[in-house]
Amino acid sequence: MNGFLIKSLVGITIIWLVSLLYTLQISDKKEDVEIESNKKANTEVINKPPSRTIKLTTDEIKAKSTAVFYGTHLPVAILSQYGRIIVEPDNVKEEELQELRANKSNVFAYISIGEVNPSRTWFKKIKPAWVLGDNKIWDSKVMDLSAVGWQDFLLNEVITPLWERGYRGLFLDTMDSFYLFTKEKQQQEKQANALSTLIKKIKQRYPKMRFISNRGFEVLPHIGKQLEAVVAESLYASWDNGKKIYKETSANDQEWLLNKLHNIKKDLSVDIIIIDYAKAADRIKAKKIAKKISEQGFIPWVSIPSLDLVGVGSIELEVNTHLLLIDSKIDGHTPFRLEKYQKLLNKFKEQGQKLKVHDIRLGMPIGHMIRRYASIISTLPFNEQSEAYKRWILIQKQEGVIIDQYP
């Protein structure tokens, strides 16, 4: 009886031990699966928008919306709808800047920190001792940010005049160009520290100055806390300047840039602005690209390579002005007094629309008209006009502008 009891107890113990070992094995396998699953999730999450979506108010969306326009003859009424506008200050008239500021838009002046192009009016003032070398691709001089005198020159000859004109923001470009000529880490650190010193000098002199950087990923650890936004180009759609074609970026390039930008946004708490490229006439494609950019939590601007077009951004524009082409030799200089334009003028007034007159005797309007005007209206017989007129009208049609013949 005792022997039987002992054998039974031993059997039960063995069965319990086998069961325990099997359970532990299953648990280990489950844990391994969970670890692998988490690893996979961590590698995939970088290409997805943040899981926690922060909803912005209408005012916040307006404040963060950004337009980039480097052309002349700024479409002030359109650009004023954006909270931030990046411009090439040499192309901006004083009255345009003042009107933008009066409309409460924050205007950022483009400034090249690390390179100087011969087209700048002050290029001849550059001293040879400030130059690291030549960037032959862009025909520019790469500057030594640590050179004695260069920072003071930038501050006194370039930045101070911009402040006095009314600019309260700077769009900083070519900050890391020194990497072309500094290969040792110690040299690179010296340049990056000099850049940080320059930003601090600007901020000390003009405490209300705001900064946006164009990429400059390598130097962001040195200046990131002074920035409100970082700009990057060609996330989804780029321009191949060599082949002169628009093209999609590769999946590898997208993944690398997304990874970099999401980390920058997380570490520095800055806005990320993306400039991508699409044909002027391809508004549907431009809107799709802008939507993809927004889904990543970034601020889109989809334009053409010259950046002199009203692009597609993060807000829906109100375009309520129409352009009326007249010939002063036929209509005189006060066309709205003529009976033939009264009906047209009254129609637009009733609709809350505006009508702007352009006399073709002064030449054809400069720039791209798409998204600048709701339509172009003309009473001039097309076949009787100059070749310049015909060519201009055809270009506007190709870019998607509505052309109306009146009456």
Return the amino acid letter for 359: D
Q: Are residues 349 and 250 in the same domain?
A: no
pLDDT value for 146: 95
In this structure, is residue 44 part of a structural domain? no
The rounded mean pLDDT for the chain is: 88
Q: Are residues 291 and 325 in the same domain?
A: no
Per the model's pLDDT, the better-predicted residue between 236 and 51 turns out to be: 236
- Residue in the structure block whose two tokens are 């920072």: 151
pLDDT value for 407: 82
Q: Are residues 230 and 258 in the same domain?
A: yes
Helix, strand or coil, per DSSP, at residue 141? strand
Per the model's pLDDT, the better-predicted residue between 9 and 226 turns out to be: 226
49 has a pLDDT exceeding 80: no
In this structure, is residue 49 part of a structural domain? no
In this structure, is residue 3 part of a structural domain? no
In this structure, is residue 245 part of a structural domain? yes
CATH of the domain at 344: 3.40.50
Q: What is the spatial distance between Cα 213 and Cα 21, in angstroms, rounded to a whole number?
A: 59
Helix, strand or coil, per DSSP, at residue 406? coil
Q: Which of 272, 303, 334 is the last residue of a domain?
A: 303
Confidence of residue 148 (pLDDT cuts 50, 70, 90): confident
Q: Are strands 131-135 and 140-143 parallel, antiparallel or unpaired?
A: antiparallel
296 has a pLDDT exceeding 60: yes
For residue 204 the two structure tokens come to 């000390």
Q: Are residues 295 and 327 in the same domain?
A: no
Confidence of residue 34 (pLDDT cuts 50, 70, 90): very low
Per the model's pLDDT, the better-predicted residue between 4 and 196 turns out to be: 196
Per the model's pLDDT, the better-predicted residue between 194 and 37 turns out to be: 194
- Determine the average pLDDT of the residues in 35-50: 42
Q: Are residues 325 and 260 in the same domain?
A: no
pLDDT value for 270: 97
- Determine the average pLDDT of the residues in 297-318: 97
166-169: long-range contacts, CB 8 A cutoff, minimum separation 24 = 166/97, 166/98, 166/101, 166/107, 167/89, 167/97, 167/107, 167/108, 167/109, 168/106, 168/107, 168/208, 168/209, 168/210, 169/84, 169/106, 169/107, 169/108, 169/109, 169/209, 169/210, 169/211, 169/212
- Determine the average pLDDT of the residues in 66-88: 97
For residue 145 the two structure tokens come to 């940010």
- Determine the average pLDDT of the residues in 160-180: 96
pLDDT value for 55: 67
Q: Which of 241, 268, 303 is the last residue of a domain?
A: 303
Q: Are strands 375-378 and 321-326 parallel, antiparallel or unpaired?
A: parallel
pLDDT value for 36: 43
137 has a pLDDT exceeding 90: no
CATH of the domain at 253: 3.20.20.70
In this structure, is residue 299 part of a structural domain? yes
- Between 30-44, 131-145, 220-234, the lowest mean confidence (pLDDT) is in 30-44
Instruction: Give me Rg for the CA atoms of the chain.
Output: 30
398-401: long-range contacts, CB 8 A cutoff, minimum separation 24 = 398/281, 399/280, 399/281, 399/368, 399/369, 399/370, 400/280, 400/281, 400/283, 400/370, 401/369, 401/370, 401/373, 401/375, 401/376
Q: Are residues 295 and 339 in the same domain?
A: no
pLDDT value for 101: 95
Q: Are residues 106 and 210 in the same domain?
A: yes
236 has a pLDDT exceeding 60: yes
Q: Please tell me the total count of domains within the chain.
A: 2
Write out the residue range of the structural domain in which residue 370 sits.
321-405
In this structure, is residue 10 part of a structural domain? no
Query: Do you find a cis peptide bond into 407, omega within 30 degrees of 0?
Result: yes
What is the tens place of the pLDDT at every residue in 212-221?
A: 999 999 999 9
76 has a pLDDT exceeding 50: yes
pLDDT value for 9: 37
45 has a pLDDT exceeding 50: no
383 has a pLDDT exceeding 70: yes
59 has a pLDDT exceeding 90: no
- Residue in the structure block whose two tokens are 């912005």: 56
- Determine the average pLDDT of the residues in 220-226: 94
Q: By the 8 A CB rule, do 299 and 324 touch?
A: no
pLDDT value for 54: 58
- Determine the average pLDDT of the residues in 130-142: 93
pLDDT value for 17: 42
pLDDT value for 177: 95
Write out the DSSP string of 284-347: HHHHHHHHHHHHTT-EEEEE-TT--S--B-SS-----EEEEEE-HHHH-S-GGGSHHHHHHHHH
- Residue in the structure block whose two tokens are 């480097």: 70
